[in-house]
Homo-oligomer: A and B are copies of this chain.
C-alpha cells in the first residue's frame, strides 16, 4: 500500500490494476453512472489495495462542484464562534457536505484579514458560503455573493441575494432587564460595548438601557471598548456607585466583573446583581450559575447551513431573513438589590 512520497495513485493506476478503463473507474468510485457489479468489485479492490484517495482538486476542477461549503467566522478562540462552527460542520456533514473554515484568529480590527480569508475560501471553489464575521462590511462581500451562494449569519443583512440568520439581541437585552426590574432594582449599570467592536453586543446593551428607562428606572451607562475590557471599566467605579445591578455584554465580561468584586470582598448577588449574555460553553457551568441569556448557537449554525444547502440544491430561491430567539437562564448571580 505504501508508495513513494508524492506519488499518490490516480485512477489510471487503478484502471491498470483492475484491467478496465479510467472512465469505468471514475464511474465506479464516484457513484455517478452505471457499472456492472463485477467491474465495481474489481475497481474497489484495486482502489483499496493501492490506498487510493480521490484528488479533490481534479474532481472539483472538472465538475465545478466540490460538495464543500466555506465558513468564515470571526475568531474561533471565542467559544461563541467555535460552537457555531461545530454546529455548522455537523449540519453540513449530515447532508453530505464538507466544511472549510477560515477564521481571523485574533480579534484585531481591520478588514484585510477577513477579506483575505474570504478570498481563500472563494479560491477553494466552495459551493456555498456562510459568513459569520460581523465586522466584515457588507460591501466587501457583495462582489462574491453573486459568484457563490451566501448566507450571512449573526447579522441582519438586507442586501439583495443574501439570506441572513441572526439572533434577536434586543429581545435578550430586554428579557434580562425585565428580570432585574422585576427583582426591584432601580439603579442599573449597563456595560455598553463600542458599536465598532460588536454590533450585537452593542445592540443588546442598547435594548437593556431602553428597557430600564422605559420602566422609569435609572440606567447608568458604562462604556467599554469591548467586553474583554469590562474589568477596567468597572474597577474604578465600583466603590462609589449607587447602582445595585451590573449588566454585562457577555459571560466573559461577567467573569471579569466578579473578579473585581471579589478583590474588594464583595460578591454577586449579595452586593450587586450581575447578568451576562451567551450561556454556553465552559462558562455555562452550573457551578458559576451566571444569570444570562442563552444564545441559540446550534440552531443558528444549523439554520444557516440548511438554508444555504436548500438553495444550493435548488429547493428554494428566495432570500430570507431569519431571526432566532434565545432563552433566559436563571442563575444565581442576580437577585433583589441589597443596598438601599
Residues in A lying within 8 Å of B, measured CB to CB: 1-6, 8, 51, 53-58, 60-61, 64, 66, 76-77, 79, 82-83, 85-86, 89-90, 93, 98, 100-101, 103, 105-106, 119-120, 122-125, 142-143, 146-147, 149, 252, 255-256, 258-259, 262, 281-283, 285-288
Chain B residue at minimum C-beta to C-beta distance from A90: B105
A255 CB contact (under 8 Å) in B3, B124, B282? B282
Q: Is the CB of B61 within 8 A of A58?
A: yes
Q: Is the CB of A259 within 8 A of B286?
A: yes
A252 CB contact (under 8 Å) in B103, B142, B256, B282? B282
This chain: how many copies in the complex?
Answer: 2
| Complexed CA–CA distance, A125 and B143 (Å) | 28
A86 CB contact (under 8 Å) in B2, B54, B64, B77? B77
| Complexed CA–CA distance, A283 and B255 (Å) | 10
Q: Is the CB of B54 within 8 A of A143?
A: no
| Complexed CA–CA distance, A190 and B103 (Å) | 38
Which 9 pairs, one residue from A and one from B, show the smallest C-beta to C-beta distance? Answer: A259-B287, A56-B123, A255-B285, A57-B61, A282-B282, A57-B60, A57-B57, A258-B287, A53-B122
Chain B residue at minimum C-beta to C-beta distance from A101: B101
